[in-house]
Structure formats: structure tokens, C-alpha cells
Chain A
Amino acid sequence: MPEVTRLIYKYLRHDKKFPHVWCPGCGTGIILGALIRAIDRTGYEKDDIVLVSGIGCSGRMPVYVDFNTLHTTHGRALTFATGIKLANPNLNVIVIMGDGDAMAIGGNHFIHAARRNIELTAIIVNNSIYGMTGGQYSPTTPYGMKATTAPYIHIEQEFKISELAVTAGAGFVGRGTVYHAKLLDGLIEKAILKKGFGVVEVISHCHVQYGKQNRLGSAVDMMKWQRDNAVTVQRAKRMKPEELEGRIIIGVLTDKELPIYQDEYDKVKERAKEGLSSLGG
């Protein structure tokens, strides 16, 4: 049996839900493929994985997989995930968010989850626009691009998700593109295995909304753009800042050991118990 067929039978609800709802050529399907390959490599049981999502195109992802899944409200995927992880620390919680979900409506939750360094994996699908609701600009729409709510160019600067996560204190931050799908497998695997908050930002494409409004071509053209503009972290170190302008740096951006929220919380519980027993005699 070919490798892909084996993964489809093992992890996807292939007999009920396919073909999926995403547009032809959408990068979200490629990210779903990378996710199931990465989970397969980590060797976790299906019952040990919880996939939490918010609202948006990427929010449809838990519908197609055979893990424990939770489809939550807009922007609050990380808060639900935090609750699951603290209630049952043995579960491996993976959060799928879009750029609007993680940066706009749930922006505050995102920076504080990173600051706490709670053991979650956040996969952020960055397609630079609100695709599902009709192509409104999102916090990651770059300056000078068009959207339905910015017909005469967008005048705000975009959020740099990975750089924000690094600054906010996440233990692991990686960035990939849907074109570099094998690299994405590795990044997601590392983020899942990481003790601490793991962030993987995936540069995806929305050729139906973002591509159409900005005349960027088909899904293939937008993936060629990713191929031509992505620079690995190793190569970026040897390049000058002006050469890196407009480029996407892909690879592991940070991987550091920081105190993990659950461990600290357990210590507090122990301390409280000791205090209680000394009081009670």
C-alpha cells in the first residue's frame, strides 16, 4: 500500500467527508497532509492527540481527521486548548489557527500563551487575508496590497507572526511554506515533540480571494512565488539585510529551553500542600 493511502486510512475520515470543502489548489489541504505525516512520525496514538481549531478556512481541518477534535469560537482556540492541557496534561494538544484567528481576534491569547510557555503546538496558517468571509484584509495583509475592505491599497504594516512569537517567549518557533512541504513535516514534528509552546507559521496562499484581488495568478503561480522568495535560515545568515527585503525566512527560527507552565504549576501545588499541612499540624 502506498504511504499516502496508509495515512489516509489511518488518520482521515476518508469514507465520510471527502472531497474536502477547500477551494481547488488551497494550501490548507497540503498543511493537513503535512500534519498527519508529522503526527505519524511522532508515534503518538490517535486517542492521545487533540486537534483544536477556531473559525476560518483552517478551522475546518478537525472535521476531516480521526483524532479528538474541537471546533471552537473565533480566536479562542488557544484558550480552549489551554484548558484541555491543564485538565489532562497527558494529552497532546495541537491548535490550528488562521492568521485572523491567531493575530486579530485571538491576538492577545496568542502572545500570552507564548509568554506562559504552556506545552501546546500552534500551527498558524498565514494566507494574508480573511478568505472564508469574502477577502477582507487581516493583520497579516502586507502594505500596499488590495482587499475587499481596502480597494485602494492597504495602508497598514503587517504583523510578523514568527518574530512576534519569538519576542513573546515561545520555546519553539518555525516558519515554513506549503511549497516546501517536506520541511513543514519536520517543523510540525519538532513543534509537537517540543516541551513548551511550539509555533509553526505556515505561509499559505489564497488565490481565490487574495490572489484574485491582487492579480497574483493561480495557486501554482503563488506557490512558485513561495519557491522563488523563500530563504532558509542558514542562507539568510550570510545575506545582507537589503537582500532579505521581501523574502520569507524559513526553517527553525528559535528553539530554546524555558520553564514550562505545567511544571511550574505542579511546583506551586506542592508548595501549597506543604503550607496547608504545616498549618493543620
Chain B
Amino acid sequence: MEAEEVNHTPKGTEEIAPDKQPKPKRRAVKKIDIFKAWCKACGICVAFCPREVLAIDEEGYPFVKNLDACTGCGWCEIRCPDFAITVETRSKRKATKRGDGKEAG
């Protein structure tokens, strides 16, 4: 009877052939534009982002910290009092589509 071959390589460290490697997850959002000329650094977009995509820099202005985490919900552009932020989503779904009263953030 032949002994079963035991794999001693710890789990997760096996080498994967380059062609079989999983593709990086596709971002839901193309880009977030912050128009600094209109921005007044009130901090509303940063405070109510449900995924902590945005952060505040030394001068108090928002910047995009983690675009990969963005789901494209569009709450930052809806709540911006100065029309200074736009979210460009990859899909055709519009971020500002009809509200059903359910709120995020």
C-alpha cells in the first residue's frame, strides 16, 4: 500500500502560476474629483463617507485616500454644499438616482 503524499507547504504560501493568479478586483468607481477652487473645507464629505474613502489633509481639505474602497454611493457629492466633489462611476448606474428615503453614512 502506497503512503499518501503529504504536502508540508503551509497553506496560502503555495506558488500560483502567473496565468492562474486572481485578477485584482475591479474598482466600482473610476475617479473622485475634488474641485479645490469651490471647496471650503467643511469636512462633511469626509465625516459621512460610509467607507472612509476620503480623508482630511493638513490644510483641512479632503483628499482621496482609498479609492479601492469606494462603492460609488455618491453621498459625498449629494451632501457637498459647494458642488465641489464629483464621483465618476464605471457602470451606467447613476449615483444620484431616485432616492427611496434610505440613507447611508
List residues of chain A with CB under 8 Å of any chain B CB: 2-5, 8, 12, 14, 18-20, 22-30, 33, 37, 41, 178-183, 185-186, 218-220, 223-224, 227, 232, 251
Contact = CB atoms under 8 A, between A and B. Distances in A.
Contact of B86 (A4, A18, A29): A4
Tell me if B's interface is mostly helix, strand, loop or mixed: loop
A14 B84 CA distance: 11
Given A3-B94, A219-B44, A220-B43, A33 B78 contact: yes
Interface in B5-51: 33, 37-38, 40-44, 47-48
A27 B98 contact: no
Contacts of B44: 25, 219-220, 223
Contacts of B41: 24
Contacts of A28: 81
A74 B98 CA distance: 34
Interface in B33-87: 33, 37-38, 40-44, 47-48, 74, 77-87
Contact of B82 (A29, A37, A181, A218): A29
Given A19-B40, A37-B96, A232 B101 contact: yes
Q: Interface residue tally of chain B, by bracket? A: 20 to 34
B71 to A, nearest CB: 15
Given A25-B42, A29-B81, A183 B86 contact: no
Given A18-B38, A25-B44, A220-B44, A3 B101 contact: no
B83 A186 contact: no
Contacts of A19: 37-38, 40, 82, 84
Contacts of A41: 98
A182 B100 CA distance: 7
A238 B95 CA distance: 32
17 contacts: A2-B77, A2-B86, A14-B83, A19-B38, A24-B40, A24-B81, A24-B82, A25-B40, A25-B42, A25-B43, A180-B103, A183-B103, A186-B99, A218-B43, A220-B48, A223-B79, A251-B101
B72 to A, nearest CB: 10
A16 B85 CA distance: 19
Given A2-B95, A26-B81, A224-B47, 14 more contacts: A2-B77, A3-B96, A4-B77, A4-B83, A22-B81, A25-B42, A25-B81, A29-B83, A30-B79, A37-B96, A41-B98, A180-B103, A182-B103, A218-B42
A177 to B, nearest CB: 10
B99 to A, nearest CB: 3
A186 B97 CA distance: 11
Contacts of B47: 220, 223-224
B33 to A, nearest CB: 8
A181 B78 contact: yes
